[in-house]
Structure 1
């Protein structure tokens, strides 16, 4: 603004001279009008032209100052709007983080609500498993927080169905051999009283084989566990017959999530043998 004012110094001087000229001309007009010595119409046009030039000399720097002021005011308003929007974005980010946490908690509570009601055979429930390398292709660790050791062979299940059996346990943790491990064998029942064996495969799938009797399972048949040596509880869901493989084998689709099981329950029957095998 100061630079603009300095740059217009000459024009301000011209404005002052213009005003003085207007006053001079006005006095001349007054005298001329009194004496009728000049053409007043032409004189008035000349005076109007000179006055407009003088006014523009005064008005131009004022307009420039007003324009700069308006620009600064708009800039300040934009800055205030930006600060307000940044604050709103930060608040929305906090709400988004809270929403993610609440969604995770809701998912866990939803799974917890599906847990099968405990009975005399329920030993404990753990919220999640730990994926860890072990002696088997498909096995996981669970933290049992000083409640061990668990008996060998204890069934491990989720709200959906069987996931495996305890292979070995210590005081604070236990290893579960998953039902889709190639070495896993689970006695199963389908239909009324038809039985067979569900085994894991080298590719992590499930197959039913060794079916007793002439009755053959059909696609869609529901498989559950059958009690064996007072160890494995009966009627725990395993999966559904998915396809006929031939040679007395059928592929089985597990009901439980075997990749990342949540809220695992350990269920046993009486007279179980406690495992002290090292994991």
Structure 2
């Protein structure tokens, strides 16, 4: 179907606007699944019935100032950033933290915060992209520097599998995608949650302008935890340290049989070699 530039629609005459609308009306319709990711029926059906299920909670929107990338030093930007507010939320955890971040480069500050969680016996679970799922291999070089340290600190670490994600029928229409994590979420103590645009990486902290919503709702937190756990159990590899220590293993299953991999799964030899080659020279501040 021919694309119709938006400026032509806005500035064009009535005939061209009518033609653009008619073309849009003829566009193929997406067949949505009858139930959503968690098994609930469609919102359309609820609206038609005159009743819709809602979860209530107190929410607060947070955002970086527009001047962050141009008029602030890195220290100023970090101190007032959405990233800092999310870290503050994490550090108030009393029981557990579950989070998803497509790009995961915690840096020295982040690892110090995670170490504090470990000392306080706070259970930390993290879901991120594997090398094969990552659309920015350079970012993966920063993440791989911290995997062993995270596992040694007691974190549960999972990486998305493109193959398992795209073959998982539970994902419905999303199962035809390329199998990549994009959600940025945090759940603290099964009550407080954050959903937004922020990755746990240096660029989100000091260079990008980010935003999100912090919510206090045990009910909504419970639903988000269900989504995270489905993702990590059905569409991800679980990482662990080998018995010898110092090297990584990726665990998955084939039916009832557990499979242990000793290299970056679903990534080609060339892909792995390139990533290993450039990892030592990539500046972390740019990731």
TM-score (norm 2): 0.22
Specify which structure has the higher proportion of strand: 1
Rg larger in 1 or in 2? 1
Higher relative contact order (CA 8 A, sep 6+): 2
